[in-house]
Structure 1
Amino acid sequence: MPLTIETCVARHTGDRKEQQDRVALFAHPTRPGMLMAVLADGMGGHTGGAMAAEQVLIKAKQNFESYAPQSETPEHLIASVIDEAHVVIKLTRFTSEQDPHSTAVVLMLQPGRVDWAHCGDSRLYHFRGSELVSRTQDHSLVGELQRKGKLDEAGALRHPQRNVLLSCLGSEQPPRIDHGKQAPLVAGDSFLLCSDGLWAYFSEEELGGAIAALSAREAAGVLIDHARERAGGAGDNITVAIIKFVEAPAR
């Protein structure tokens, strides 16, 4: 059956003084049916984090617009965005007084398939209806403890070192890049990209339920409002991108 998409991106500064997250959706300028979503959570002192996150978006747009599917794979394109943004962010350390770093989540839609990759603890969730199909695994200390069975989800949210990343863009070590894909796509598939300012306050069931029941725009608004309430005046920047696949209306 023919599909169409609903999309929304949204941000909230939370209780921070500065918005250091960045998010964007953009279509390919010449190839119909191709879309890229990118989200980055910047870190690194005043303006440094925002500058790092901005570099992720700039590099994503540049590389996506020059994508040549005859000669490169989706995995190669998405990895190049993260790798090259990492190099640029490292170089900015020599031209500024900050120590900039960023996470990255990059998703690319082509007709019939979605590919993605991430580095850090910003997440991508794939839901089918309200059910979770998969989500990215955090490159963080608590994420590693969870994978080893030493910490559960509730303990991870309370852990005093929950913000310690094991990999990110701009660090001394090359970024760790994990890939995922989904093909074919069906009505009811949805993808949520979000920073930890959002996912830290929700179960997977809550996220999937809201996205399945509401439009992309409505779901983004509801999730941000609830995250703000649950943060209790101590919330981080909140950033979200939602892509929903729905049946195309009959002509």
Structure 2
Amino acid sequence: MPIAVDACAAQHQGDRKEQQDRVAILPHVRRKGIALAVVADGMGGHTGGALAAEQVLHTARTNLEHFAPVEESARWLLENSMREAHTMIKASRFMNEKDPHSTAVMLLLQPGLASWGYCGDSRLYHYRGRQLLTRTVDHSFVEHLVATGKITPAQALTHPNRNVLMTSLGGQDEPRFSFAETADLRAGDSFMLCSDGIWAYFDEAEMGELLAGNSARTACEKIIDLARQRAAGAGDNLSLAVIRLVEVEVPKARPPAGFVPRGGA
């Protein structure tokens, strides 16, 4: 049975004075079946973070418009989008005297293939039904502590340095990128990209329930509502993009008008 895409991007300012996140699901302008989802979480004082995140989105959109899948790899698109954004954000320091940075997570969907890359602590989750298949591992200080066995995942949730990043776009050092992809795509799969203003309030099992049991739009609404409730007036910007793969029933062909089936011999 054919598979269709049910997708939605959403965000909320939370309790911050400014929305410094950016999120979008961008279709390829010439190639059917190709789309790029992007979440960027900007940092760097008033307007600086928003400008950095906007640069990530702008660069991703421009590179997608010129992406030729026959000649270029998904990783080429993802890495160049983030690397070019890093260069532009870093250059903007000299123009606006701010300290802009941004995370980035991107998912490129092509027929039969999903590829993603990221820098920082904005995440991608891949579920099959309610089962988590994979999630990105944050480029953060606490994820490093978890990976080296110094703290548990539960301790990471309340660690005082949980927001300290090891890398980001726009910093003085060269950014660190991570990439992965899968060709094992099925109806019932769902992907979620989100900023830390979302994932900080959910465990993986609950997130799977919300994604599997709702349309993309309804899942976004419920996730934002729950995150806002749990933030209790102290919430960060919230941004997410949900992409669900769903079966589409093909209508049976109707016989032409006036057609009368003949009996067997």
TM-score tier by shorter-chain length is over 0.9
- Cα deviation, residue 60, structure 1: 0.2
Structure 1 runs (4+) deviating above 6 angstroms are none
1:34-113 alignment, distance < 5 Å: 34-113=34-113
CA distance in structure 1 between the aligned counterparts of 2:132 and 2:70, rounded to whole angstroms: 33
Report what 1:134 is aligned to: 134
Secondary structure, aligned partner of 1:179 = strand
Report what 2:262 is aligned to: none
- Cα deviation, residue 71, structure 1: 2.5
Letter matched to residue 53 of structure 1: A
Letter matched to residue 126 of structure 2: H
Report what 2:144 is aligned to: 144
- Cα deviation, residue 37, structure 1: 0.4
Secondary structure, aligned partner of 1:51 = helix
Report what 1:194 is aligned to: 194
1:1-251 alignment, distance < 5 Å: 1-251=1-251
- Cα deviation, residue 115, structure 1: 0.4
Report what 2:255 is aligned to: none
How many residue pairs end up in the alignment?
A: 251
CA distance in structure 2 between the aligned counterparts of 1:71 and 1:183, rounded to whole angstroms: 19
Larger Rg: 2
- Cα deviation, residue 69, structure 1: 2.1
Secondary structure, aligned partner of 1:85 = helix
- Cα deviation, residue 70, structure 1: 2.9
In the superposition, the TM-score normalised over structure 2's length comes to 0.93
Secondary structure, aligned partner of 1:209 = helix
Deviations 1:193-230 (A, max 9, x none): 00000000000001111000011111111111111111
- Cα deviation, residue 237, structure 1: 0.4
Letter matched to residue 19 of structure 2: Q
Letter matched to residue 245 of structure 1: L
CA distance in structure 1 between the aligned counterparts of 2:26 and 2:120, rounded to whole angstroms: 22
- Cα deviation, residue 184, structure 1: 2.9
Q: Can you give the 5+ residue segments of structure 2 that lack an aligned partner in the other structure?
A: 252-265
Identical-pair percentage = 55
Deviations 1:155-207 (A, max 9, x none): 11111111110010001111111001111310011000000000000000011
Secondary structure, aligned partner of 1:217 = helix
In the superposition, the TM-score normalised over structure 1's length comes to 0.98
CA distance in structure 2 between the aligned counterparts of 1:60 and 1:132, rounded to whole angstroms: 27
Contact in 1 for aligned 2:104/2:119 (Cα 8 Å): yes
Secondary structure, aligned partner of 1:244 = strand
Contact in 1 for aligned 2:2/2:250 (Cα 8 Å): no
Secondary structure, aligned partner of 1:94 = helix
CA distance in structure 2 between the aligned counterparts of 1:49 and 1:214, rounded to whole angstroms: 32
Secondary structure, aligned partner of 2:114 = strand
Report what 2:256 is aligned to: none
Deviations 1:93-132 (A, max 9, x none): 0000210000000111100111000000000000000100
- Cα deviation, residue 148, structure 1: 0.8
Q: Can you give the 5+ residue segments of structure 1 that lack an aligned partner in the other structure?
A: none
CA distance in structure 1 between the aligned counterparts of 2:153 and 2:238, rounded to whole angstroms: 20
